[in-house]
Amino acid sequence: MMSLLIHEQVVREMIADSRSLEPREAVGLLAAPTPGSPVTRCFPLPNIATEDHLYWADPFAQWQAFRSIFQERLRPVAVYHSHPGGGTELSARDIAFARELGLLQVVIALGDRVERLAAHAVDPDGSARPVEISMVISTLNPTVTS
């Protein structure tokens, strides 16, 4: 089974972003320094969808996030979005979006007091496979150069 490593701080950022937008869905990008390394950055994006149970990332903000990812010498790894009051399964619309980007999908299910996360890999044919999520517990300290 494929796996996704995410730093604890990034998980907290995704959950905070998701909670701050309830009842609307949150959406954002996740990035890592190299393929297979832990996700170190979260890029929340404005959701411009007109309905609470949908997400549509603002195209300009998405372009800016991708530009920042590449300028910081990171790799885009996944798209995250929330399901307020829902489960961690991908909808048909989620799968359609995922097929276009080719990135892993992280879904944050928001309950009353509990959050659940699940990751999925979506193949070009639209089939979705579960991806194991492992949280890295450590402090993220950016490298300081002088």
Extents of the domains making up the chain? 3-136
- The verdict on domain 3-136 having CATH code 1.25.40.80 is no
| Residue-wise pLDDT tens digits, 43-83 | 999 999 999 999 999 999 999 999 999 999 999 999 999 99
pLDDT for 145: 39
Compute the average pLDDT of residues 31-43: 96
Task: Give the separation between CA 53 and CA 70, rounded to whole angstroms.
Answer: 30
What is the average pLDDT score of the chain? 93
Decide: helix, strand or coil at residue 66. Answer: helix
Decide: helix, strand or coil at residue 8. Answer: helix
Q: Is the pLDDT of residue 101 over 90?
A: no
Q: Is the pLDDT of residue 146 over 80?
A: no
Strands 3-7 and 41-45: unpaired
Decide: helix, strand or coil at residue 14. Answer: helix
Rg (CA), the chain: 15
pLDDT for 78: 98
Q: Is the pLDDT of residue 142 over 60?
A: no
Q: What are the percentages of helix, strand and coil residues in the chain, rounded to 5?
A: 25, 35, 40
| Residue-wise pLDDT tens digits, 18-27 | 999 999 999 9
pTM: 0.92
Task: Give the separation between CA 130 and CA 30, rounded to whole angstroms.
Answer: 17
Written as six digits, the tokens of 58 are 């603002």
